Amino acid sequence: MKIVILDGYTVNPGDLSWEGFEKLGDLTVYDHSPADKVVERIGDAEIVIPNKISITGEVLDAIPGIKYIGLLSTGYNVVDAEAAKAKGIPVTNIPAYGTMAVAQFTIGLLLEICGNIGHHNRAVHSGRWQANRDFCFWDSPLIELAGKTMGFIGFGRIGQAAAKIAAAMGMEILAYSRTETDEGRRIGKYVPLDELLAKSDVVSLHCPLTPATQGIIDGASIAKMKDGAILVNTARGLLVNERDLADALNRGKLMAAAVDVVSQEPILGDNPLLKAKNCFITPHIAWAPKDTRARLIDIAVENLSCFLAGAPVNVVNG
Of 209, 195, 221, 273, residue with least CA distance to 75: 209
Average confidence score pLDDT of the chain: 97
Rounded to two decimals, what is the model's pTM?
A: 0.94
pLDDT in the model for residue 194: 98
Q: Choosing from 236, 242, 251, 302, which is the catalytic residue? A: 236
Average pLDDT over residues 19-28: 98
Q: Are 52 and 78 in contact (CB under 8 A)?
A: yes
| 127, burial (CB in 10 Å: exposed 0-12, middle 13-18, buried 19+) | exposed
pLDDT value at residue 238 = 97
Strands 149-153 and 172-176 come out as parallel
| Cα four-point dihedral sign 120, 124, 126, 131 | positive
Read off the pLDDT band of 298 (50, 70, 90).
very high
pLDDT at position 137: 97
The yes-or-no answer on residue 284 being catalytic is: yes
Is 133 part of the annotated catalytic residue set?
A: no
Judge whether 125 counts as a catalytic residue: no
pLDDT bin (cut points 50, 70, 90) of residue 236 is very high
Domain boundaries, the chain: 2-97+290-308, 99-281
Q: Span 189-206, mean pLDDT?
A: 98
The one catalytic residue among 284, 293, 295, 302: 284
- For position 116, what pLDDT does the model report? 96
3-state SS, one letter per residue, for 34-76: CHHHHHHHHCCCCEEECCCCCECHHHHHHCCCCCEEECCCCCC
Instruction: Please state which of the four CATH numbers 3.10.129.10, 3.40.50.720, 3.20.20.70, 3.40.640.10 is assigned to the domain occupying 99-281.
Output: 3.40.50.720
Q: What is the pLDDT of residues 100-138, one digit of tens each?
A: 999 999 999 999 999 999 999 999 999 999 999 999 999
What separation in angstroms does the CA of 45 have from each of 6, 32, 64, 71, 259? Answer: 11, 17, 10, 15, 38
Task: Look at residues 267, 268, 275 and name the one whose alpha carbon lies nearest to residue 246.
Answer: 275
CA–CA gap between residue 298 and residue 1 (Å, rounded): 19
Q: Are 48 and 42 in contact (CB under 8 A)?
A: yes
Among candidate residues 40, 58, 144, 265, the one labeled active-site is 265
User: What is the tens place of the pLDDT at every residue in 245-297?
Assistant: 999 999 999 999 999 999 999 999 999 999 999 999 999 999 999 999 999 99
Say how many C-beta atoms besides its own lie within 10 A of residue 121's C-beta: 10
Q: At what angle do helices 117-125 and 99-115 cross, to 10 degrees?
A: 60
Say if residues 118 and 112 touch (Cβ distance below 8 Å): yes
Nearest to 188 by CA among 228, 159, 216: 159
Cα 20 to chain centroid distance, Å, stands at 25
- Residue-wise pLDDT for 201-232, tens only, equals 999 999 999 999 999 999 999 999 999 999 99
Which CATH architecture group holds 2-97+290-308?
A: 3-Layer(aba) Sandwich (3.40)
Contacts 24+ apart (CB under 8 A), 78-86: 78/50, 78/52, 78/53, 78/54, 79/50, 79/54, 79/55, 80/55, 80/56, 81/316, 81/317, 82/317, 83/56, 83/57, 84/55, 84/60, 84/317, 85/317, 85/318
Nearest Cα to Cα of residue 174 among 206, 151, 146: 151
Q: Residue length, the chain?
A: 318
- Is residue 90 within 8 Å of 69, Cβ to Cβ? yes
Per-residue pLDDT reduced to its tens digit, 25-75:
999 999 999 999 999 999 999 999 999 999 999 999 999 999 999 999 998
Check if the beta carbon of residue 39 is closer than 8 Å to that of residue 59.
Answer: yes
Dihedral angle sign, alpha carbons of residues 97, 100, 105, 110: positive
